[in-house]
Structure 1
Amino acid sequence: MAPGVSRPAAHGETNRSTKEETVSRTSIYRIRRAFVAVGLVALAGGSLAAPAAAADTGVQSTYLVLYTAGARTTGAQKAVESAGGTLVADYSAIGVVVARSSRSDFSAAVGRSRGVDSAVATGQFATKVTDTSSEQPVAAAAATWGDSLSGLQWDMRQINVPQAHAINSGIRSVVVGDIDTGLDFTHPDLAPNYDASRSTDCSSGTPQPLAVGNDKNGHGTHTAGTIAAAANGTGIVGVAPNVSIAGIKSSNDDGFFFPEMVICSFVWAATHGIDVTNNSYFADPWLFNCRNDAGQRAIWNAERRAIGYAQHNGVLVVAAEGNESTDLTHPTTDVVSPDFPPNSSVERDVTNACAVVPVEVPGVVGVTATGNKRLKSFYSSYGTSSADVAAPGGDSILQLTADAPNGRVLSTFSSVGTICLPRRLVVENGAKYCYLQGTSMASPHASGVAALLLSAHRAMTSGQLSAALQGATNALSCPDTSIYAAFPQNSGAPQTCQGGSGHNSFYGSGEVDALKAVQ
């Protein structure tokens, strides 16, 4: 999920047409999915009738089948097969089934099964991660803390990670699941902390082993390094370098996060001892998933069930706010959906009935991005109801400093990743690192701080951990928003900050502080 969306050309480097690098404007790597004439049928219970002779399209599509609350999915395989499909996964705990079929009437046919509430195709939904830019590489500064490239980690110094590590750098029993494009577990900065038993590949909609070379995008390896890169003398150091990191691949190799992949990922996290999930993507077919539309509502409900199931099982869900410079609490216009196939977006009006997943799901900790001047990054979305904390995500336009000369965040990168331009690539002792920016980079900082908190207070529940994370911050007041004049919201309205220093729409309760987390 983690791809970008188009913005007016005036937004320069964050315009998708120029493939800017803000780890794609959508949740920095916001997951965007495209919606292509897919049909959803809301159905009443009843017995399954044999499907009429319907055309076999010859192309397999993936479907989500939602059962009504309390209904059992025990007959799911028979229902799917009778409708002309194949059962892929039965997530009975949340009443969701994943199926594939090439029949044009599959949704309607399976919808006649007893207990089915709705069915919707997902095969034409997608969100792609794109990221490019034109910075020259930055020479490594002398490291006064950490590993060989730590002198370039302005982001860690900004949230007091070096001071925190003098007290607590995490414990191995705390596990962070990075739901993303995959994870290069052969990377020397990730291998020491990689938990293979809790890692999986959900790109097929059902859990499979995570193979070598799984992260052909690179986004997931980058976010994983920010969370838990090892303090091993080379490369960088993560926020929590002694916790365990699990890779949960939730996209295909092109960086598209389909609903069945996201659902699989949260059910996996719920049942495999994951303490915190980092979610640097936007997981719906539309930038805003409107619940007054039957098709979008079905996907919203399925993903919400999966996230709620994880939360109920003790998982803290941390998510990127997004890269549209938009107030998610007061949305008015969506100009980027659907974003797949390319050039298929249509401007539409949206309201508070339309929500971004996962960041606007109840109980999710939403993270906005800051730059090296501790101001909200020019691209970061925000909102009083969705922004809980802020964290360094980079800002290559408004916040260039001597400490952050290109404004971006350096982290680990996959050996087979494709989204890092040569100009932003750093190779250290044969391993790759890349400079990226976006709320996708901010979220793993917050996830890492949550892992430090849990390391220091292992008995915390996920609810207590959420409250503690929002308390381990340095409050920031609303800035002079005239600096964002060149980066309006999708509607063309200026960015505005609401609230006081205790909590506001730009920073939530404030920027996370690793030292406060361990004291």
Structure 2
Amino acid sequence: MNRSIRFTARRALPVVIGLVAALCAAPGLPAAIADGASASYVVLYREGASTAQAQGTIAAAGGTIVANYSQIGVVIARSDRAGFAAALRGNGNVEGVASTSRFATRVADTGSGGAAPAINPAAWGDSLSGQQWDMRQIHVPEAHAINQGSRSVLAASIDTGLDFTHPDLAPNYDASNSADCTSGAAQPLAVGNDLSGHGTHVSGTIAAAANGTGVVGVAPNVRLAGIRAGNADGFFFPEAVVCAFMWAGTHGVDVTSNSYFADPWLFNCRNDAEQRAIWKAERRAIRFAQSNGVLVIASEGNESTDLSHPRVDVISPDFPPGSEVEREVTNACAVVPVEVPGVVGVTATGNLRLKSFYSSYGISTADVAAPGGDSILQVTAAAPNGRVLSTFSSVGTICPPARTVVENGAKYCYLQGTSMAGPHATGVAALILSSHANLTAGALAARLQRDTNPLPCPDTSIYDPFPQSDGSPQSCQGGTAHNSFYGAGEVDALKAVG
């Protein structure tokens, strides 16, 4: 999940929302939208209320419907009328209305510097697999000798898109189950859709084909869907997140990778009506996907923050640029999607199997750990720049030239972040399902956490140069069986196929 991470977003992944009024004053809402300025809205209907008459209701308020997700009582609308939201709030069937156009969290790589290392011959895999320390660390080569994944399994990357023309992704790309959700209504993915490159990187880690060239994914034989929820600038607006989970829940997706935090705020608090409407709509969409058999896996974020005991949010909202307001938060405020019940949270490790310096964590949010890279504390002979190599979009922009590799005309990039950790766990989940068919999403989550290598809390003094947002040091809670840095442990592909 970038600076935060939507690479899993800021320093890792960002997401946010207001906080409890009893604890501190909520930040002011953006100024009202003026007549003539078109904006997107999430319209949240009350539980059990029908959206069948939404067309007339929205039109009467001065808007048009983009999508009607009647299964969860959420409507996505657009309007250029300043009083649109206020008019809808007077409807007894409507619980909340929120403008979404001005809120977003952005994906970004963590850290800087570190050129691409020289390519070593691959003893396993494809032409660039000699640089895939991450795959060797979780025993992917040994797992592939037993099972490389089943075509009956469909994994999806909910991200900034997917370059399905990439030679490592094209063999596994499932066009019929892919979609562009950035408008709030699903459309076909177009060529050149991933202008960020982030989603293509994530997708390669999950399921890059074992085809002799480039890299190999954790589950190279499973089908791969791209569900675009992040735009060209790496912003994940609420209407796109809702659309993405609704698509996954109606298109046979087995497991999704989510390396971002949903808009508009990093921490979502319940006391603000506008924030609450967005938060509830996203949670309903995630629950809908889960109820239809989708395992949702999410990166923890790159804020080096204890999500179970948050104190300060200094990055939200990060759109428009410069809008950040420092505010106190508590664990009454939740991060979406990682803190939604049933979602598997993933922290990042480096090549020394230590938590990455930037990775967020939490005793109640961290379920498993997986390689995400660490360019500061865990540079080794096997990982000379500390980062993870994977596929990259031909039109992607976030990979510096110094960390770009071109092989047979295709692009690859070295990146780090919890955004890189989440797809490793997603690939392992796909291998589990390939070896143990018919598992429910809940059983698959339990098996993923069981098939790990437990890691004890480390000496946390090594993280002293990387304090939390409030200046306090990072600290690890729990024992080897389960702790706030690694959850149940680092995922293991070989155990997954056993």
- TM, length-normalised to structure 2: 0.96
Partner of 2:45: 67
Partner of 1:51: none
Structural mapping, 1:160-179, within 5 Å: 160-179=139-158
1:456 partnered with 2:435: yes
Cα distance, 1:346–1:62 mapped onto 2, change above 3 Å = same
The amino acid of 2:216's aligned partner reads: V
Aligned partner of 2:259 among 262, 266, 280: 280
Cα distance per residue 1:29-68 (max 9 Å; x no partner): 445799983489xxxxxxxxxxxxxx96211100011111
Aligned partner of 1:112 among 90, 101, 107: 90
Partner of 2:426: 447
SS at match of 1:103: coil
Unaligned runs of 5+ in 1: 6-20, 41-54
Deviation at 1:75, TM superposition (A): 0.5
Aligned partner of 2:125 among 121, 139, 146: 146
Cα distance per residue 1:178-234 (max 9 Å; x no partner): 000000000000000000010000010000010000000000000000000000000
Unaligned runs of 5+ in 2: 19-26
Q: Hey, what's the Cα distance between the residues in 2 that align with 1:214 and 1:418?
A: 12
1:248 partnered with 2:232: no
The amino acid of 2:168's aligned partner reads: D
1:37 partnered with 2:29: yes
Partner of 2:342: 363
Aligned partner of 1:325 among 292, 304, 324: 304
**Is the CA contact 2:105–2:266 (under 8 Å) kept in the aligned structure 1?**
no
Structural mapping, 1:205-220, within 5 Å: 205-220=184-199
**Is the CA contact 2:15–2:335 (under 8 Å) kept in the aligned structure 1?**
no
The amino acid of 2:174's aligned partner reads: D
Aligned partner of 2:351 among 361, 368, 372: 372
Partner of 1:97: 75
Q: Hey, what's the Cα distance between the residues in 2 that align with 1:338 and 1:36?
A: 11
SS at match of 1:281: coil
1:480 partnered with 2:459: yes
Aligned residues: 489
- TM, length-normalised to structure 1: 0.92
Aligned partner of 1:228 among 203, 207, 225: 207
Q: Which fold has the larger relative contact order, with Cα–Cα distance below 8 Å and residues 6 or more apart in sequence?
A: 2
Cα distance per residue 1:373-399 (max 9 Å; x no partner): 000000000001000000000000000
Cα distance, 1:56–1:23 mapped onto 2, change above 3 Å = closer
1:382 partnered with 2:366: no
Runs of 4+ in 1 over 4 A off after TM superposition: 31-36
SS at match of 2:37: strand
Q: Hey, what's the Cα distance between the residues in 1 that align with 2:341 and 2:213?
A: 39
**Is the CA contact 2:367–2:449 (under 8 Å) kept in the aligned structure 1?**
yes
Deviation at 1:89, TM superposition (A): 0.3
SS at match of 1:59: coil
Q: Hey, what's the Cα distance between the residues in 2 that align with 1:451 and 1:22?
A: 22
The amino acid of 2:203's aligned partner reads: A
The amino acid of 1:94's aligned partner reads: I
**Is the CA contact 2:194–2:232 (under 8 Å) kept in the aligned structure 1?**
yes
SS at match of 1:90: strand
Q: Hey, what's the Cα distance between the residues in 2 that align with 1:237 and 1:420?
A: 19
The amino acid of 2:80's aligned partner reads: S
Give the percent of matched residue pairs that are identical in Structure 1 and Structure 2: 69
Q: Alignment RMSD, CA only?
A: 1.7
SS at match of 2:264: coil
Q: Hey, what's the Cα distance between the residues in 2 that align with 1:208 and 1:39?
A: 31
Cα distance, 1:36–1:144 mapped onto 2, change above 3 Å = farther
